[in-house]
Structure 1
């Protein structure tokens, strides 16, 4: 069945001048991802991949945030959490489908980071080939604060951007860095004024889209090969490990402390 982006409720998808723009559109939740948003993000990138007119993709969020990660109130409690555990503890754990849709897109992907990008929001930015940030951008791998581990972005791509030691520091502490620090350590290519971010992203995407489409795809494939990373294998390990961590007391405490706006008290069980 063909994907109809006009039916999306949590993602806006447009194509203009060979550039697809995927905008997370849950501003009231700071674009935090629930089950529907994950599904529509995946389908948006599948739509871009299937469209021969698309030569570059921009992913961003509706102000005031890029993406605040998973919607903890929805995804980490009750039936939604039970469903996540059931999927992650299946016989053969698989990578997050939305992650693979972004990573396997063979067009260049630009993340226009317009505000906080934390948790899976930072993962999404890391999945992109190029990241431009507004002065309001904030970035953090905060999974450790919830008693969890990062996805493919933090474990597979962050070390190649900032080095193994800095990546370990960010992953182990869950620290959030501002736009200028993210640029200094290599997460962001550059920082621009907030009001010009999308113009800068579209200008860059336009310059990329002017080039030979097949050569662009092979160039991206070459970069992927040179990185030597097996995202399917890493994603499967992440899913299986998260399935275990979701069932720990520490994860429940991490979620409770977030919802109650207090410091967590982890017990190591």
Structure 2
């Protein structure tokens, strides 16, 4: 079986980190495949939602330091920077370009880069037994893939600094209290809970879904006047689509809508 598996079914693309014997620590090859999947999903009409999860009893324990280009001789500062900027950073950049919702289903531990990969997603559903830690400080490192960017935007600067500087673990309930988790569910309910949310989003009008996601992130970087100007343009485009007319008709007729993405 592949270390990273990707399947598409009924509008839902699922990325499975599949190295349970290594707590789904990712390799260089997995990163390359992962980034290519996200880039392809952006324009794939068969994909409306992306789900990211891990096999076995872990979500992701971060980078596998003993694999491939991550092992061997100590890299130079330039090599280390290039490894991040030319490989690892492809994931957050691809996600930034992807205006389709991305859901992380977090089972078990999410540590270091594994936690950051979850933070990059738009929503997170967490199993009750899961534990999360930034962890870098414990091995004398800094978050190389975006933890210092994503975590403060979810939990605020003070709490983010505490988690980053201590490497402390938090449980699922604390993750929910801090706003990291959208939902906490029993371990055996995680796959079904993730599928329910993904199914609900995949069944919604895709142009409206993608536009709402885009507007939320655009607004976070804009002043009020700019955000309202953008959303007025978005509204004008969305209401001109066949899917918008179908959604209104379905609402009036109290039936599920059928959307083609145009």
TM-score normalised according to structure 2 size: 0.77
Inter-partner Cα distance in structure 2 for 1:204 and 1:180: 19
Inter-partner Cα distance in structure 1 for 2:162 and 2:200: 35
Secondary structure at 1:72's aligned position in 2?
coil
Any conservation in 1 of the 2:113–2:145 contact (CA below 8 Å)?
Answer: no
Please tell me whether residue 98 in structure 1 is matched to residue 91 in structure 2. Answer: yes
Any conservation in 1 of the 2:28–2:70 contact (CA below 8 Å)?
Answer: no
- Corresponding residue for residue 10 of structure 1: 3
Inter-partner Cα distance in structure 2 for 1:207 and 1:48: 18
State the shift of 1:159 in Å. 1.1
- Corresponding residue for residue 251 of structure 1: none
Please tell me whether residue 120 in structure 1 is matched to residue 119 in structure 2. Answer: no
Question: Residues 166-222 of structure 1, C-alpha deviation per residue, up to 9 Å, x if partnerless?
Answer: 001001111111111111211111110111111111110111112111111111111
Question: Residues 151-176 of structure 1, C-alpha deviation per residue, up to 9 Å, x if partnerless?
Answer: 45421121121111100100111111
Inter-partner Cα distance in structure 2 for 1:98 and 1:10: 17
CA RMSD of aligned residues (A): 2.3
Inter-partner Cα distance in structure 2 for 1:44 and 1:23: 12
State the shift of 1:13 in Å. 0.7
Flag as ranges the 4+ runs of structure 1 deviating above 3 A. 92-95
Instruction: For 1:112-261, list aligned pairs within 5 A.
Output: 112-228=105-221
Secondary structure at 2:2's aligned position in 1?
coil
Inter-partner Cα distance in structure 2 for 1:152 and 1:87: 12
Question: Residues 97-149 of structure 1, C-alpha deviation per residue, up to 9 Å, x if partnerless?
Answer: 12322332210000000110111100110001100000121111111222221
Give the gaps of 5 or more residues in structure 2. 223-262
- Corresponding residue for residue 249 of structure 1: none
Inter-partner Cα distance in structure 1 for 2:220 and 2:140: 29
Inter-partner Cα distance in structure 1 for 2:77 and 2:62: 15
Inter-partner Cα distance in structure 1 for 2:47 and 2:76: 34
Give the gaps of 5 or more residues in structure 1. 1-7, 230-269
Inter-partner Cα distance in structure 1 for 2:140 and 2:173: 28
Give the number of aligned pairs. 220
Question: Residues 51-95 of structure 1, C-alpha deviation per residue, up to 9 Å, x if partnerless?
Answer: 11111111000011100001122265314x5388515159x9567
Any conservation in 1 of the 2:116–2:150 contact (CA below 8 Å)?
Answer: no
- Corresponding residue for residue 261 of structure 1: none
- Corresponding residue for residue 66 of structure 1: 59
Inter-partner Cα distance in structure 2 for 1:32 and 1:65: 9
Structure showing greater Rg: 2
- Residues 154 and 72 (structure 1 numbering): CA distance in 2 closer, same or farther, change over 3 Å? same
- Corresponding residue for residue 43 of structure 1: 36
- Corresponding residue for residue 77 of structure 1: 71
Inter-partner Cα distance in structure 1 for 2:53 and 2:209: 21
Question: Residues 20-67 of structure 1, C-alpha deviation per residue, up to 9 Å, x if partnerless?
Answer: 111111111110011111112112222322311111111000011100
